[in-house]
Amino acid sequence: MRRHLRPLVAVGCSLSVLLAACGTVSPSDLGSTTSQSPTTSAAGSPTPRVSVPVPATVADLEQQLTSQSHGLLAFIGAPAPGAGEPDGVVTCQGSGPIQGGDAVACRWEPVLPADVEMWGCDNPPVEGCGGGQWPDPHTILVAVLDDTGRYTFTLLDHQPDATHAAPDDYPAGTTSCATLAAPPASGRTRNGLDYPALLHHWMSLGQPSSMDTDRDGQPCEDSYPPEIVRGVLSSPLAPVSDPDAPPLTMDDVRAHAQAHMSGYLSPLVLSGAGGSRPATTGATMACQVYSPSWPEMTRWQLYLIVLDDTGGYLIVDDSGGGGCPGLADYPPGSTCAELAQPPPGWTTCSRGVNYGEILYQWYTLGQPTDWDTDGDGRPCEDTYPHTNSGTTRLLYP
pLDDT for res 174: 97
Buried b (16+ CB within 10 A) or exposed e, 327-339: bebbeeebebeeb
Chain centroid offset of residue 267 CA: 7
Helix (H) or strand (E) holding 288: strand 284-290
**Confidence at 37, pLDDT banded by 50, 70, 90:** very low
**Confidence at 97, pLDDT banded by 50, 70, 90:** very high
% of the chain at pLDDT higher than 90: 24
241-291 pLDDT, tens digit each: 555 556 788 888 888 788 777 655 556 788 899 999 998 888 999 999 887
pLDDT surpasses 90 at 223: yes
pLDDT for res 391: 37
Q: How large is the average pLDDT for residues 144-163?
A: 74
Q: Which residue has the higher pLDDT, 18 or 85?
A: 85
pLDDT for res 179: 97
314-371 pLDDT, tens digit each: 888 888 777 888 888 999 889 999 998 999 888 888 888 888 888 899 999 999 999 9
Yes or no: say if 157 and 137 are a contact pair by the CB < 8 Å rule.
Answer: no
Query: Which amino acid, residue 332?
Result: P
pLDDT for res 10: 44
pLDDT surpasses 70 at 29: no
pLDDT for res 312: 77
Q: What is the average pLDDT value for the chain, to the nearest integer?
A: 74
Q: Judging by DSSP bridges, how do beta strands 151-155 and 269-271 pair with one another?
A: unpaired
Of the listed ranges 149-163, 181-195, 315-329, the least confidently predicted one is: 149-163
pLDDT for res 142: 92
Q: From CA 19, how far away is CA 315, in angstroms rounded?
A: 10
Pseudo-torsion of CA 37, 249, 13, 238, nearest 10°? Answer: -100
pLDDT for res 255: 80
Q: How large is the average pLDDT for residues 234-246?
A: 59
Q: How large is the average pLDDT for residues 145-167?
A: 76
Q: What is the pTM of this model?
A: 0.62
Q: Which residue has the higher pLDDT, 267 or 115?
A: 267
49-81 pLDDT, tens digit each: 334 466 889 999 998 888 777 666 665 566 666
